[in-house]
Amino acid sequence: MLRLGEKVTIIEDTFEQNLPFGQYAYVIAYDRNPDNAFDYVIRVPALNRNFFVPAGDIELESVVLKQEAERVEREALIDFALSTYNEKLFHQLMNGEAESAGEEEEPKETLSQADFIKQVNLRAWI
């Protein structure tokens, strides 16, 4: 739940109220009526208007700025990987870091049934 007076950015317009996407606004009130679809009342200073909005239509400005910075950083790394012909970095960025870490690990040896029983018995002792 957002606090009163917090600076938010409009990211969606669920109910097609002609909200200005990307504009900042301030939370000025909560709508606590359980029969209502709206969660907040926001004030958009650029339009000098108040809007009733659901929680999904707005996001904290700091979160939006952080997501944008991560997107720009990722795009810059992709451009760098392409310009330097760094195939490994490019595949790591495109496939995600978790998948590339799984590929680098050596496959574990399969244990025979007797070795497996030995390990289970050793762990049982401990």
Q: What is the CATH number of the domain that holds 20?
A: 2.30.30.40
Q: How many domains does the chain have?
A: 2
Among the listed residues 60, 62, 49, the one whose alpha carbon sits nearest the alpha carbon of residue 2? 60
Do 68 and 83 fall within a single domain? yes
- 74 and 84 in a single domain? The answer is yes
pLDDT digits (tens, 9 = 90+) for 25-80: 999 999 888 888 999 999 999 999 999 999 999 999 999 999 999 999 999 999 99
Q: Do residues 38 and 76 both lie within one domain? A: no
Distance CA 36, CA 29 (A): 14
Give the model confidence (pLDDT) of 75-104 as tens digits. Answer: 999 999 999 988 898 889 888 865 545 555
Q: Is position 124 within any domain?
A: no
* Residue 30 counted as domain residue: yes
Instruction: Tell me which residue range forms the domain holding 40.
Output: 7-61
Asked, for residue 109, whether it belongs to a domain, the answer is: no
- Within a domain: 117: no
pTM of this prediction?
0.65
Assigned domain for 94 exists? yes
Question: Please, which residues have CB within 8 angstroms of residue 5's CB and are 6 or more apart in sequence?
Answer: 26, 27, 28
**Domain-located, residue 54:** yes
